[in-house]
Amino acid sequence: MARHGRGGATPRARVSRDSTPLLGEHQTYITFDAPNGGPPAKPKTPTRLYQAKQYLNADVSNKHTDIILIICFAISGLIDSGAYNAYTCFTSMQTGNTVFAALGVSDLPASSPKYAWTKSVTSVVSFLIGAAVLSTCHRLLGARKRWVQSASFFIQGLLIALSAYIVQRGGSDSPVKKPTIAGLPADPGFPWIDLVPIGLLSVQSAGKVVASRIFQHVGLPAVVLTTLFSDLVSDPRLFTAGLFDNPQRNGRFVAVACYFGGAVAGGAFAKSTVGFAGLLWSVAGIKLLIVISWLLWREDEEAEDEES
């Protein structure tokens, strides 16, 4: 027989009157961001420094980047025409420089001064160094980040400005070469200082090619026209497509026109009072405008959606 409690009454479970359901009206919350039982802290708003970092680290949109490369075609025409007139070599078109260097092995052309081939070799080697360094930096730091693109073109503009300073100070030959009585350029001795601006200009020219690869505009290499001519005339819709129905054809045509126009302007600069130095200062200013454009460029929408 079960043992009863005191008084013979069967013990019952005591239910507290103030007991409430698990999710009743009187609930207790634990907050970890409000010490001493104070009100919960408000969420912190991002600082301006944080917002600036986020903005500069964002990938720029690939849309309309072909406009930047078309402008680079005009820059290549400007610099190459001025450089060839001043130094008898190119700083962007390395095919021509390779031929000049090969002819230098046989001391040709006969009218060229001794060691003229060193200019072409300097240009080719500097271009290779520029392409290797800039592409590696883009790959390690973020190819399409806003600050990386801005920094790349700022460095290019800085190299052009440094070359302009050297030319302007008279350290490098820039005026139009006047022929002698025999019809050949005078040879006052080989100007070794010319190798400095040639090297600087060749390094920066590689940055334009790297940019064309980053934004996948392989048809706009920004420095050469040979493949561009071939792609243009090989287009089956060259004449059949409407004016705005073939953007690739239009881009190639405008790029060729800009390169030619830039080369014509480069010749005009060379014959003017400002000379090659004035041309380089102008191009440095254009590079600065491109830097500002990258800083204001629209963010990549796909990257923005992934973050949100």
In a domain, 17, yes or no: no
Query: ∠ CA 78-117-126 to the nearest 5 degrees?
Result: 60
Chain centroid to CA 13: 79
Question: Does 43 reside within a domain?
Answer: no
Give the domain extent around 245. 61-307
pLDDT band at 302 (very low <50, low <70, confident <90, very high): confident
User: Distance between CA 254 and CA 297 in Å, rounded?
Assistant: 22
Residue 163 placed within a domain: yes
Identify the CA nearest to 174 among candidates 33, 271, 77. 271
In a domain, 8, yes or no: no
Indicate the Cα dihedral angle 144, 279, 130, 196, nearest 10°: -160
- Number of structural domains (the chain) is 1
Q: Residue 49 falls within a domain, yes or no?
A: no
10 lies in a domain?
Answer: no
Look at the pTM and tell me if it is higher than 0.95: no
Report whether pLDDT(175) > 80: no
Burial status of residue 306 (CB atoms within 10 A of its CB: 0-12, 13-18, 19 or more): exposed
- Asked, for residue 15, whether it belongs to a domain, the answer is no
Which pair of structure tokens corresponds to residue 113?
Answer: 């001064």
Q: What is the pLDDT of residues 204-251, one digit of tens each?
A: 999 999 999 999 988 888 888 888 899 899 999 999 898 888 888 999
Percent of the chain at pLDDT > 70 equals 78
pLDDT band at 108 (very low <50, low <70, confident <90, very high): confident
Asked, for residue 297, whether it belongs to a domain, the answer is: yes
Structure tokens at 273: 């009072």
